[in-house]
């Protein structure tokens, strides 16, 4: 009898072990990364999320952890949240009665979060995402333990909480808490939010870091990071640190935040804490995507007939088709100022501000000029050659002559720029020996055939086609180099093909685009090492 009982026990134990029935084998972290809203190096939501994932994946102190990143502050498939062990928000918050503010704070989305948290998910807010309206204040207190309170009883912007920049060593509170394992006092330059709103009874609330130099006289007024043991058994965490991306280079700052993520996800933090390395953006790209180079596609506004929302993903796919390029997509042209352009081997413009009177920010203009002068490569696709041109209807105020120094053939309404009726035509390879077109034969596309594009600076034509309107051989794609003040030769590729997604799917053109992506990236290898 004892033998059979023992055998049954062993069989059950083996089955539970093999099938994972005894406990959940992995923990799942969902990071909700918002869109950029601050200058480069500040509030780097997507870069923070990618770095966190790579650091967690590379740490020798943790296993059984899956990290998902969702951009734009919310997943396309909301079910991704419902089996999460931790939901980490890295995004804008709301600082006033108008605007959406933090992406998850709508009635519909809060209902999904509520369902996930009631199912046991941990919840963590980071820097600006600690901002919340009082309407959701009670839930923030229950879920993460505290929030930045910006409003008065009338809902107006009248800060209860406050902000101060300091470069000072932080004080560690409750060093026995698992989040503090292996963490030593550290000093960083930071935009600290303080005088936060915490639960009055403080049940389950554990302050972890304070900054005495903030000077608050309220209880816990100088606290900038905290943990919460929720009444339902779940965990919460919040910190107002996180303004500057460079602070991740500080080992103790890194360890503290990674400890917090692991603990809030319900995992055990080892006695020495979570060790990790800081990775450059190029290393993050390699580890996260297995790619050597990275591009930024700039889009978001265009002629009404150009359906860029459908077309840009196909352009991205074409650039990435060779397996060595990763392309990010920006839908805000002023990300030229808000993104750190040094992260990108080339910029691909698929943007034109038709009937858009708003000029490009001065900071964006300066950032693009600095990028080019530093050796950054460029690509201009289709109607991007009409951007920032005074001849476009309604866009007179956005005119920027410097752009036309970078983009050598431009759409100029006043000079008779136009195109054949949308239709099918043959693209002829002009230079059969160039590395971008070598071995590629003529091919057909269904597109707009541009002609009378303005510009006098020299270009090297790669492809052309005969216009039905002009009867002439019109250039369709070309390359050239810009000579910068610093003596760098900047590679530029321009094509007027690409009215919709059909051309990007043509195998010959897709191959040209992928070769071009590598050609542009290799032109900046030396620049990226600076």
* Same domain membership, residue 375 and residue 270: no
Instruction: Output the DSSP codes for 314-346.
Output: HHHHHHHTTSSEEEEEES-TTHHHHS-GGG-SE
Is residue 192, in this structure, part of any structural domain at all?
A: yes
Show the domain range for 308: 291-528
* Same domain membership, residue 103 and residue 251: yes
* Same domain membership, residue 383 and residue 257: no
Is residue 425, in this structure, part of any structural domain at all?
A: yes
Q: What are 265's two structure tokens? A: 């996800």
Is residue 384, in this structure, part of any structural domain at all?
A: yes
Q: Give the whole-angstrom CA distance, residue 115 versus residue 139.
A: 12
* Same domain membership, residue 268 and residue 119: yes
* Same domain membership, residue 488 and residue 420: yes
CATH number of the domain that 229 lies in?
A: 3.40.50.880
Give the pLDDT confidence score for residue 524 in this predicted structure: 64
* Same domain membership, residue 353 and residue 253: no
* Residue 23 CB neighbours (<10 A): 6
Closest-CA residue to 37 (of 89, 92, 100, 95):
92
Give the pLDDT confidence score for residue 201 in this predicted structure: 76
Task: Spell out, as residue ranges, where the chain has pLDDT lower than 50.
Answer: 1-6, 8-23, 526-530
| Structural domains of the chain, count | 2
Is residue 284, in this structure, part of any structural domain at all?
A: no
Give the pLDDT confidence score for residue 15 in this predicted structure: 41
3-state SS, 181-236, equals CCCCCCEEEEEEEECCEECCCCCCEEEEEECHHHCCCCCCCCEEEEEEECCCCCEE
Give the pLDDT confidence score for residue 394 in this predicted structure: 80
pLDDT in tens, 197-215: 998 777 899 999 999 999 9
Is residue 395, in this structure, part of any structural domain at all?
A: yes
């Amino acid at each position: 009898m004892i033998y059979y009982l023992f055998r049954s026990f062993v069989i059950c134990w083996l089955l539970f072990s093999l099938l994972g029935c005894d406990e959940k084998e992995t923990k799942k972290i969902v990071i909700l990364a918002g869109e950029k809203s601050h200058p480069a190096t500040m509030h780097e939501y997507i870069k923070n999320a990618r770095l966190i994932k790579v650091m967690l994946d590379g740490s020798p102190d943790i296993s059984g952890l899956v990290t998902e990143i969702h951009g734009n502050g919310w997943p396309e498939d909301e079910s991704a949240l419902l089996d999460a062990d931790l939901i980490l928000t890295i995004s804008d918050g709301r600082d006033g009665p108008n605007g959406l503010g933090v992406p998850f704070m709508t009635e519909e989305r809060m209902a999904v979060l509520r369902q996930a948290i009631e199912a046991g998910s941990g919840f963590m807010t980071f820097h600006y995402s600690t901002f919340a309206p009082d309407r959701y204040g009670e839930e923030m207190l229950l879920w993460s333990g505290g929030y930045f309170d910006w409003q008065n009883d009338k809902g107006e912007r009248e800060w209860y909480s406050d902000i101060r920049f300091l470069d000072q060593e932080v004080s560690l509170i409750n060093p026995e808490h698992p989040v503090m394992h292996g963490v030593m006092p550290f000093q960083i330059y930071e935009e600290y939010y303080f005088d936060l709103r915490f639960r009055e009874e403080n049940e389950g609330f554990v302050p972890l870091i304070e900054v005495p130099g903030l000077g608050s006289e309220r209880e816990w007024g100088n606290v900038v990071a905290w943990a919460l043991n929720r009444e339902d058994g779940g965990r919460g965490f919040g910190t107002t640190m996180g303004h500057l991306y460079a602070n991740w280079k500080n080992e103790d700052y890194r360890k503290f935040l990674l400890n917090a993520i692991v603990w809030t996800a319900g995992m055990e933090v080892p006695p020495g804490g979570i060790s990790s390395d800081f990775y450059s953006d190029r290393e993050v790209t390699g580890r996260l995507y297995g790619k050597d180079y990275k591009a930024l596609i700039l889009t978001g506004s265009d002629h009404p007939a150009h359906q860029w929302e459908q077309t840009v993903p196909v352009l991205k796919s074409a650039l990435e088709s060779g397996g060595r390029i990763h392309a990010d997509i920006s839908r805000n042209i002023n990300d030229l100022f808000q993104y750190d352009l040094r992260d990108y081997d080339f910029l691909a413009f698929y943007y034109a501000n038709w009937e858009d009177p708003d000029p490009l920010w001065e900071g964006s203009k300066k950032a693009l000029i600095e990028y080019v002068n530093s050796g950054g490569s460029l690509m201009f696709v289709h109607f991007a050659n009409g951007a920032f041109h005074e001849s476009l209807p309604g866009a007179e105020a956005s005119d920027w002559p410097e752009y036309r120094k970078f983009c050598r053939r431009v759409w100029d309404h006043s000079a008779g720029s136009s195109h054949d009726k949308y239709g099918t035509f043959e693209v002829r390879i002009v230079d059969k020996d160039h590395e971008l077109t070598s071995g590629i034969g003529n091919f057909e596309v269904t597109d707009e055939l541009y002609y009378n594009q303005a510009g006098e600076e020299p270009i090297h034509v790669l492809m052309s086609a005969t216009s039905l309107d002009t009867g002439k051989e019109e250039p369709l794609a070309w390359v050239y180099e810009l000579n910068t003040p610093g003596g760098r030769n900047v590679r530029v590729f321009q094509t007027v093909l690409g009215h919709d997604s059909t051309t990007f799917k043509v195998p010959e053109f897709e191959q040209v685009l992928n070769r071009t992506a590598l050609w542009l990236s290799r032109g900046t290898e030396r620049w990226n090492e600076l």
